[in-house]
Every structure is written in C-alpha cells, then in structure tokens.
Amino acid sequence: MKTIKIKPDKYYIIHAGQVWEGAGSSGLLQNCTVTIKKGRIERVSTGGLKTEINDAQHDAQVIRLPEITLMPGLIDCHVHLAFDSQNLLKTVEEWTTNPAATRSRIKQWMQDSLSSGLVALRDGGDLYGFSLQTREAQKTGQLEGPKILSPGTALYKKGRYGHFLGPGIETLADAKDQIAALAEQKVDHIKIVVSGLVSFKEYGLVGKTQFTAEELRAIVDTAHRYGLPVMAHASSDEAVSTAISAGVDSVEHGYFVKDATLKQMAESQTAWLPTVAPLGNLLTAGHVPYPGANLDVIRRSYEGQLEAINKAVNYGVLLGIGTDAGANQVYHGKSYLDELKYYQKAGLSNEEILSAATSASAKIVGMHEAGHLKPGKLPLFIGVRGNPLQNLNQLKNIEFIAYI
C-alpha cells in the first residue's frame, strides 16, 4: 500500500486507470489524471498523463497508478478510540492504571483505520478525553492517521448509563457549564447520551430515556449557540423521537425505531448512524458478550435494524456509516467493511452504500470539503483494484491513500 500525506507546498500529478468521483457521478471515468495544488484537488481529467506533465511545475511529484481505481476516502462517523473491542471494564480500569498502554493502542488503531481507507473518524467520547488528546497530538505532528473529530467527553445524567463517557450531570445548569467548558477546549461536536443500552437478554428492552424533551432541547440549543453540532446516543423509539424533536444533528444507534419516527427523521433532516456492527459482529463470531446474553435476542434486534435501514432509505433519511468501533468485536478500521456489508444485506445498492460512506458521512461530520474527488475538494481519497461499485470486497485491500 502506498500512502501519501499531501503537503500544501507541493504539486502532485496522479495518474489512475479509473476514478469514481463520488455520489452523483455516472460510473467510472477512464484513464484519468488528478492534479493537486496548494493542498486542493486542482483538476480531474481524462485522456492520459502527457498533457498534465507538460503543464506541471518541474518539481511535481508524479504517481502512476494505471491499474488502480481512485475514489473518495471513507469516513467512520462513530468510533471510540479509547475502547479496545474486547473488554470495556478492563479498558476503563487501564485508563487510570496504565494510560500509556491506551495511547499506544490508539496509535495502532489510527494506523489500522488509515490502512482500511478511512480518512476521518468522528469519536463518541470517553471519560478522560483520550480522543481529544489524540486530535491534539495529530495537530502537532506527533501522530499520523485519519482526521480526528472529538467531543472530548460526553454528557449523561448521573446514575444512568454513561459513566465511562463523561463526568455526568445532575441539572440543566451542569449541562450548560460542561458545554461551555468543552467549547473552551475547541471540541468538534457535543455527544449526549439520551437513552441507556439495548438489552441482549430481553428483546426490545432499552435503558430509560435520561432527559425530558424540554431538558434536551435546552441542551441542544446551548450547544448550537456555541456552533457545535450534537450527536445523540439514542435507542428505543421514544428516545429517538425525543432526540429528533430536540433538534439533535445525528441519531446514533437508533434501535427499535418505528416508521413514524423514521419519517420524522427524514422530514427534520436528522442524520442516522445505525451502527449494525455491534450486533452483527457478535452474531458472526458467535460471541456472548456477558452472562445471560442471548444470541437469538441479538439476532432479532439485528434483523429489525436491517429492516429499519431499508425503510429509512425509502423515506429519504440521511444515512451515514458509523461502526461504533471499540465496542465488543467491532475492530478499529477492520470492521468498517463489515458495516458496509450489513447495509448491503439491508438491501442498499453498492453505490448507495459507498455514497453513504463518503459524501453523506462527510456532510454528517461537517467536512463539507471532503466526500468527493472533484476540483476544489480536499485531497482525501483512496485507491483500490477493480470496481468497488460492482464489488465491495475490493475495499479489503486498499492500494493507495492520499490524506492531509
């Protein structure tokens, strides 16, 4: 795999056999050349490399990829960099007893994510702000990998689910104070925990909704006044509908959502990250995550989520790709293709899936200059062999990555 970190003071000429420019494109362009100038895609042209070389600066870096298909880089809209995909309780303990081990693993997971074609990761937060630390280390050049978007810590109501995601709040004043403090740290978004977890013991059971509609609306309005979008952990139809009514920007998970709420989601243009991998990967591995958990219960929840995704597409919901990487059996980077294939099982076409993974996810995370391989966009793209529009398995082996 060839990896290029694009420098704004260099000129690049990349020749590829094919280019998929992204959502809305009519198939693949053939025999293409992509030029990059001042840290932006300058042009995408067909017809070979000769003209571009003649026009280029003498110090241009020329990259020849005649057997490669270039396409926009992938984005994971929901990860937890501080989680290890195996044992959450042990990981949370390690955050205080051996934080260096956590940072070391995060460094590896950043590389795993990049190698999987991911150019950006939106984190869901952790109690000690490891993802925010990672973002800052990346900014200072201490760490390489996909762009990190971090909320620092998450907001949840003390005594409810979420103690490993943030310090917790008791009152609306607490919530406003935490948002102000997070804004001071220049976080990228606010994460709020609206509901509890989905039970793997009893089908359809979800931890209670943590906030009233009025409380949640006040919290969301506060975040928006600071210019911060809100991602909401919400499962159960009640929690999802409450979150949408409060004006959150994206619903995370959204298990057991009903048709009327999917239509509400579409009408309000609220994005949805269904995160199927935390269920599907348990089923694939035949892994029972805790005593009393039942794989048949997990299977019913999984099948219901696939059905809801299919309906969401028909209703016009903005769907992105979020894996919940770090959850049990959901591996950073490596599980991204799993999530794409679950969408395939839900009935989406490969083009719909890849559009969700690129342009739609870029919109959801606020990276409006990414998501397409077109002039004026940021040079965040990947290369694979063959045609990913025909076969998603081409994404198993990423041959080329351009990132910033």
pLDDT tens digits along 176-211: 999 999 999 999 999 999 999 999 999 999 999 999
Question: pLDDT band at residue 61, thresholds of 50, 70 and 90?
Answer: very high
Q: Token digits for 139?
A: 């900014």
What's the rounded Cα separation, in Å, for the pair 178 and 248?
Answer: 17
What's the rounded Cα separation, in Å, for the pair 236 and 330?
Answer: 22
What per-residue confidence (pLDDT) applies to 58?
Answer: 59
What per-residue confidence (pLDDT) applies to 59?
Answer: 80
pLDDT tens digits along 99-157: 999 999 999 999 999 999 999 999 999 999 999 999 999 999 999 999 999 999 999 99
Cα 187 to Cα 108, 341, 362, distances in angstroms = 23, 31, 17
Taking phi over 0 as left and psi of -120 to 50 as alpha, with beta for the rest, 206 belongs to: beta
Question: pLDDT band at residue 26, thresholds of 50, 70 and 90?
Answer: confident
Q: Which residues contact 370 (CB under 8 A, 6 or more apart)?
A: 72, 73, 75, 119, 120, 362, 377, 378, 380
Using the 8-state DSSP alphabet, how is residue 175 labeled?
A: H
| Residues facing residue 29 across a β-bridge | 19
Domains and CATH numbers, the chain: 2-73+371-403 (2.30.40.10), 74-364 (3.20.20.140)
What's the rounded Cα separation, in Å, for the pair 22 and 27?
Answer: 9
What's the rounded Cα separation, in Å, for the pair 284 and 186?
Answer: 39
Q: Which residue has the tokens 């403090």?
A: 181
Which pTM does this prediction carry?
A: 0.97
Averaged over 252-257, what is the pLDDT? 98
> In whole numbers, what is the pLDDT of the chain averaged over residues?
96
Asked if 313 and 348 count as a contact pair (C-beta separation under 8 A), the reply is yes
- Determine the 3-state secondary structure of 271 from DSSP: strand
Q: What is the largest CA-CA distance in the chain?
A: 68
pLDDT tens digits along 34-58: 999 999 999 999 986 655 555 455 5
